[in-house]
Amino acid sequence: MSVQRIIVIGGTGFVGGHLVHRLAALGHQVSVLTRRPERHRQYRIGAKVQLIQANPYDTEQLVPLLADCDCVINLVGLLNESGGNSFSRAHVELPRCLVKAMREAGVPRLLHMSALNADVNESRGRYLKTKGEGENLVHQSPGIEVTSFRPSVIFGPGDSFFRRFAGLLKLMPLPVFPLACADARFAPVYVGDVAEAFVYALEHPATSGQRLELCGPEQYTLAQLVEYTARLIGRHTRVVGLPDIIARAQGRIMSLLPGQPFTLDNYYSLKKDSVCSQPVWPKMGLQPRSVEAVVPQYLGSASSRARYYDYRSRARRSP
Ligand SMILES: NC(=O)c1ccc[n+]([C@@H]2O[C@H](COP(=O)([O-])OP(=O)(O)OC[C@H]3O[C@@H](n4cnc5c(N)ncnc54)[C@H](OP(=O)(O)O)[C@@H]3O)[C@@H](O)[C@H]2O)c1
């Protein structure tokens, strides 16, 4: 496809690092907007990628930056609220400012990151509710062609899911790991496959209007994923599921700790299985990678060889 000028918002994080790398490798001109460029000095992916300081809530500032751009990618999202960083600000207000600026600048296309189970009707979990509100808002924006993405938990080098559990397991003095919502189900999806789904949508305008669920090939309970992580880092740990009432109390208490290792809102998110209803990969000509094929490369004994996955070596089947 022809070279596109793409603006990525929220592109300095885990998913952004992989996706921007892939877009640049395809020859696209990518500008990553960040609130704090000084925090991302290491973020240099080559001549085709620019890091630009911008306030994504300031429409007036955004409009000139978006001029002549072919597509905007919004990856902004929070797992926990803190200080002025509220779910509604990041998941709803930001997309509202963004689509307003896109309309004024005449940008026709938006690829928007949402989350599996995002739902405006969610009664308790504010992460999922606000993600649902933001997703609906962008899809209802006149004049903008939107594809949104609803992934389960995303894994790959730099993820927070496996690395966080590995860190917690290492801190455990006993070979027992008490786990909230141990039976919650996930279908973890590889970050390289998430990047490929964005590329597919960019190259296929017919995906406009679609909300694509992204899952990996296998489903696991949270307990199975934590036990697998323990094995990979050489721990003989038994995972013990906490009764629901204690899991809920743990969410309340741990949200008061520095770094909020677990919150009541995380608890509500875990009450819903994070698994897909329809596989999108056959249509895209892709076979998603499994946890077992990738995670040992950056978490296990082979992790000294960990590096960003080389997308060019990826075999793509014709759709
Ligand atoms: N990781 C997963 O397992 C997972 C699963 C489902 C959905 N998602 C969604 O995928 C997207 C990317 O996830 P990620 O893991 O790459 O996130 P991440 O590593 O935390 O990066 C998100 C980026 O968004 C920007 N940002 C954070 N808070 C913001 C705020 N309040 N206002 C404006 N910008 C803010 C930051 O960029 P600057 O500081 O440079 O501005 C940050 O680099 C998110 O929307 C997330 O909800 C992720």
- The model's pTM is 0.94
pLDDT at residue 279 greater than cutoff 60:
yes
- In short, whether 134's Cβ falls inside 6 Å of ligand 1 is no
- In short, whether 216's Cβ falls inside 6 Å of ligand 1 is no
Domains of the chain: 5-155+189-216+275-289 (3.40.50.720)
- In short, whether 194's Cβ falls inside 6 Å of ligand 1 is no
Region of residue 95 (left: phi > 0; alpha: psi -120 to 50; beta: else) = alpha
Residues 83-110 have pLDDT tens digits of 789 999 999 999 999 999 999 999 999 9
pLDDT at residue 130 greater than cutoff 50:
yes
From atom 30 of ligand 1, which residue's Cα is the shortest distance away? 90
Six-digit token string for 206: 């017919």
CA of 14 to the centre of ligand 1 (A): 8
CA of 240 to the centre of ligand 1 (A): 30
> What is the H or E stretch that residue 62 is in?
helix 59-66
Answer for the pair 149, 112: CB distance below 8 angstroms, yes or no. yes
- In short, whether 191's Cβ falls inside 6 Å of ligand 1 is no
- In short, whether 36's Cβ falls inside 6 Å of ligand 1 is yes
Residues 201-244 have pLDDT tens digits of 999 999 999 999 999 999 999 999 999 999 999 999 999 999 99
In this structure, the number of other CB atoms found within 10 A of the CB of residue 313 comes to 6
